[in-house]
Structure 1
Amino acid sequence: MLTAFSRAFAQMTDPAFRGVLWRALALTAGLLAALGLAAKWAIGLIPATGYGWLDSIIDILAGAGAVLGLAVLLLPVASLFAGLFLDEVADAVERRHYPTGIPARPQGIVEGLLTGLTFLGAMVLLNLLVLPVYVIFAPLAPVLFYLVNGWLVGREFFELAALRHGSPAEAKALRLRHRGRVLTAGVALAFLLTIPVLNLIIPLFATAVMVHVYWSVAPGQAHASNAR
């Protein structure tokens, strides 16, 4: 497990990783800028009350709300755009560490977009569903958060790596067979996901980690790595 994380971390300076990160951030900045302009236009449509002091308060609150909303959207939007290029990250890892392994099935842009949307949707929905549990068991909320999101991160990114080399049924079966290892990696990644700024690269880092985890448990691939 430590090997998967150390190798993924060592490869973060790889040109393929940097290229994906900059493209994802550029697309994110473009979309958020467009949303910011739209929010500014919408705020301008708020009718005046006729009271200067009240109009000022409304403008300040609306502006603050727009800024907060854009800040909240930063991570999910960046993750969504990064999802378009995760196949490139997985390819880079496999070229460097597993060059003799079975060639991967390429993932299209639409499939990458659907993967990103599915992951974000599942994360939001799952955390909303367990929100009452977080409140009721407040002292245990951090532990529950990392377990819930660790399970989700582990499942999504491990199966993303496994689907490059097999069917959905095979990917799921392999994950369940090694659920402990996948969950442990997922919990560690979920913890990193809560660290500001660092969380922007987690989709790329998680992909790299889970490619290593996949190759460590994939049937018949025990000797595929040239650097193990």
Structure 2
Amino acid sequence: MFEAALAALHQILTPPFRSVLYKSLGLTLLLLALAWAGLDKLALSLVAVDHPLLHSILTFATGAGLVIFLAFLIGPVSILVTGFFIDDLAAHVEQEIYPMGRIGRPVPASAAIGMTLRFALVSAAVNFVALLLLLVPGINAVAFFLANAYLFGREYFAFAATRFRSAAEADDMRQHYMPRIFLAGLLIAGFVATPGLNLLTPMFATAFMVRIHKKLSPELSEP
């Protein structure tokens, strides 16, 4: 498992992954900038304050609140944006690790969109709960890691498996190997929990889980 993680780390530095990183970062920052402009204008338009001091305080409070809110959204938005490139990333990994002719098939467009939205919603939900748990000392970090390990391990493994199997077969396989997939998810949770690295989560998780799926599918290694 650690060998697969190290290989995935190395691969996200290669040109195909860097290209996706640049595109996803650019689109993520653009979306967040548009959200900032829109939310800032909306917030200030809802409360009319004529007093200069109160207006300054409101402007500062609004800006600070938006910074926190958008920082919370960086992870989910980057996952949403990168999700549109995830099939290409998986195919690139498979070309490197599978025998000739054993590359998976692209996930159907409707299913891919559903997975992408689910990835982003899972990320937003987990991070929102983790934000609330900051008020509960002693369990916040543990709850954050366990929730991320389960959810992200499950979602990214399901994606990797669905490129070779039906959704039902992928789900059966995920349930059969749940302990191993959960342990793999803990490594993804480390990315999610690290500022800066969390932007690389989709790329690392894809490269990592494609390899985990291969290790759990010896029949796919046969020529």
By the TM > 0.5 criterion, same fold? yes
Matched position secondary structure for 1:221 = helix
Contact 1:150 1:190 in 2 (8 A): yes
Instruction: Report the counterpart of residue 148 of structure 2 in structure 1.
Output: 149
* Rounded Cα–Cα distance in structure 2 between residues aligned with 1:37 and 1:129: 26
User: Letter of the aligned partner of 2:92 in structure 1?
Assistant: A
The residue that corresponds to 2:217 in the other structure is 218
Aligned counterpart, 1:94: 94
Q: Which residue of 2 aligns with 1:16?
A: 16
Paired residues for 1:54-133 under 5 Å: 54-100=54-100, 102-108=102-108, 110-125=110-125
Q: CA contact under 8 A between 1:150 and 1:188: conserved in structure 2?
A: yes
Paired residues, number? 223
Checking the alignment, whether the CA contact within 8 Å between 2:12 and 2:204 is kept in structure 1 is yes
Q: Unpaired segments of 5 or more residues in structure 2?
A: none
- Give aligned-pair identity as a percent: 35
Secondary structure of the 2:219 match is: coil
> Does the C-alpha gap of structure 1 residues 20 and 109 become closer, same or farther in structure 2, counting only changes over 3 Å?
farther
Paired residue secondary structure (1:220): helix
User: Which residue of the partner structure matches residue 165 of structure 2?
Assistant: 166
Contact conserved, 2:27 with 2:81, CA < 8 A, in 1?
Answer: yes
Q: Distance in 1 between matches of 2:50 and 2:134?
A: 42
The aligned residue for residue 27 of structure 2 is 27
Supply the AA of the counterpart residue of 1:13.
L
Structure 1, gaps ≥5 residues long: none
Q: How much does 1:47 deviate?
A: 4.7
Q: Equivalent residue for 1:179?
A: 178
Closer, same or farther: CA 50–113 of 1 in aligned 2, 3 Å:
same
Tell me which moved more, 24-33 or 100-109: 100-109
Could you say what the CA RMSD is over the residues aligned between the two structures, in angstroms?
2.5
Q: Which deviates further from its counterpart, 211-220 or 112-121?
A: 112-121
